[in-house]
Amino acid sequence: MIDEVMENLYRIEVPLPNSPLKELNSYIIKGNDRNLIIDTGFNRSVCYDAMHKGLADLNVDLSKTDFMITHMHADHTGLLERLATKTSTVYFSRIDSRVFDKDNSWQPMIDYALINGFPADELMNALHSHPGFKYSPAKIPEFNLIDNGSIIEIGGYRLQCLLTPGHTQGHICLFEEKKRILFSGDHILYNITPHIESWSYLVNALGDYLKSLDMVYNLPVDIVLPGHRNFFKDLKGRIDELKAHHQQRADEVIDVVGSEIKNAYEIAAGMTWDIDCETWEEFPIAQKWFATGEAIAHLRYLESEGRIKRDAQGKIVTFQAAAN
């Protein structure tokens, strides 16, 4: 499905089968000399077919097309290898690019999940069920690395890159000041909540996310174009809702911990989730992984607020409520 958003700006809805996200919004800016594709879809045939058809319908010549990827996740990066040509410039966050370093691996995340209570006998199944493991690009083209404040000009659009850490450490939004547009990636979504997870105690992902929401709160924006689901207009109102949601989730984590000492996996099992399963045992293994990462992000945030204490002395990291 293709939508014309405004002059020279289009959206292709790329299906994401078996994902709660349902679709990815890939945005295409058409210019006289060059085109720009913002985000691509999983490295899957169904995603490639949708993109290929949409680009053909728009008469987009990939040899004259550049790419801007808002963040490292596979539903945004997956088709880079199959769509980018030798003449394409690929704009990508300097911070998120580190995940594609040759010496990078999933092992640190596996080890981290283990010390946070994730059952050892489920870890490899969780890894092989992870969309980032299954649907990332096989090879990565050379990146043109961008930072906060970088400018991309194409097709009459002047896009200012805004570093908005939280969903990932190097997440980038794009702000078009004259046209009053914010391409929000997965930083701000309208009718679903962006997933905030943490797989390192060195990073306070939720704290960073809340600060990033504040950073874009007062932007003069008439329309927000997110990475998934619907466009929307009320940027401030949606940010207020997201901040309230995460404060409620943090309070829920405190309630789940109660007066006990628990690990992150146990805490995730006690939280409420918008998944059609009656018990934690019925959760798909990939969703248990995401839930545990989200629980850790809220625990790390609560620790920074002085409301939770972390004990990393044993084989399994545990948490308890801080004394009042």
Range of the domain at 22: 2-117+129-242
- Residue 149 and residue 261 in one domain: no
Work out whether strand 35-38 and strand 65-69 pair parallel, antiparallel, or are unpaired: parallel
Burial of 300-317, coded b for 16+ CB within 10 Å and e otherwise, reads bbbbeeebbebeeeeebb
Q: Evaluate if residue 43 carries a pLDDT over 70.
A: yes
We report the CATH number of the domain holding residue 277 as 1.10.10
Q: pTM for the whole thing? A: 0.95
| Nearest partner of 295 among 277, 280, 278, 315, judged by Cα | 280
Check residue 151 and give its pLDDT: 98
Tell whether 124 is covered by a domain.
no
- Residue 6 and residue 141 in one domain: yes
Mean pLDDT estimate for the chain: 94
> Mean of the pLDDT values across residues 76-97?
96
> Mean of the pLDDT values across residues 11-32?
95
Domain total in the chain = 2
Domain boundary among 242, 267, 290: 242
Tell whether 247 is covered by a domain.
no
Q: Evaluate if residue 37 carries a pLDDT over 90.
A: yes
Q: Summarize pLDDT for 180-227 with one digit per residue, the tens.
A: 999 999 999 998 999 999 988 889 999 999 999 999 999 999 999 999
Q: Evaluate if residue 259 carries a pLDDT over 70.
A: yes
Check residue 324 and give its pLDDT: 67
What percentage of the chain exceeds 90 in pLDDT?
83
Backbone φ and ψ for 271, nearest 5 degrees, come out as -85, 160
Tell whether 123 is covered by a domain.
no
Q: Summarize pLDDT for 108-146 with one digit per residue, the tens.
A: 888 999 999 999 988 888 888 888 888 998 888 899 999
Check residue 261 and give its pLDDT: 97
